[in-house]
Amino acid sequence: MIESYKDLIVWKKSLELTREIYIATEGFPREELFGLTSQMRRCSVSIPSNIAEGRSRGTKKDFVQFLRIALGSATELQTQIEIVKILPKIQHTNLGKSEGLLIEVIKMLHVMIKKLLI
């Protein structure tokens, strides 16, 4: 039985993702501090935050809405990872673990939204 957002595997995975994004972006050039570094970190933080807020709202409709917002942040992060791959100064950054976690989180969010809408 799920009693709290803290019991949700997707929330736990998204926390792990946030940690990995913070670690990966530590090596970005200083000039990216207010660019990709900040944006990627904010997106990653937004995912578990919206899952938690939606679950705490108490209605299925609200939960779905916040899961969709989390999904939007996840796909935004996915795009930013693709941008990192094409930028010469940071394309060497190892984002493999982050990408794997992100794909898992996106799949889980899709499944949760689909099941809650049934």
Single pTM value for the model: 0.94
| Residue 48 in this model has a pLDDT that exceeds 70 | yes
Q: Six-digit token pair at 60?
A: 């299925």
Parse the chain into domains and list their residue ranges. Answer: 5-116
Task: Please name which of 74, 20, 84 lies closest in space to residue 43, comparing C-alpha atoms.
Answer: 74
CATH architecture of 5-116: Up-down Bundle (1.20)
Decide: 18 and 44 in contact? Cβ < 8 Å: yes
Q: Interhelix angle for 60-86 vs 96-116, to 10°?
A: 150
Of 94 and 109, the one with more pLDDT: 109
Read off the pLDDT of residues 23-40 as tens digits, 9 standing for 90 and up: 999 989 888 878 999 999
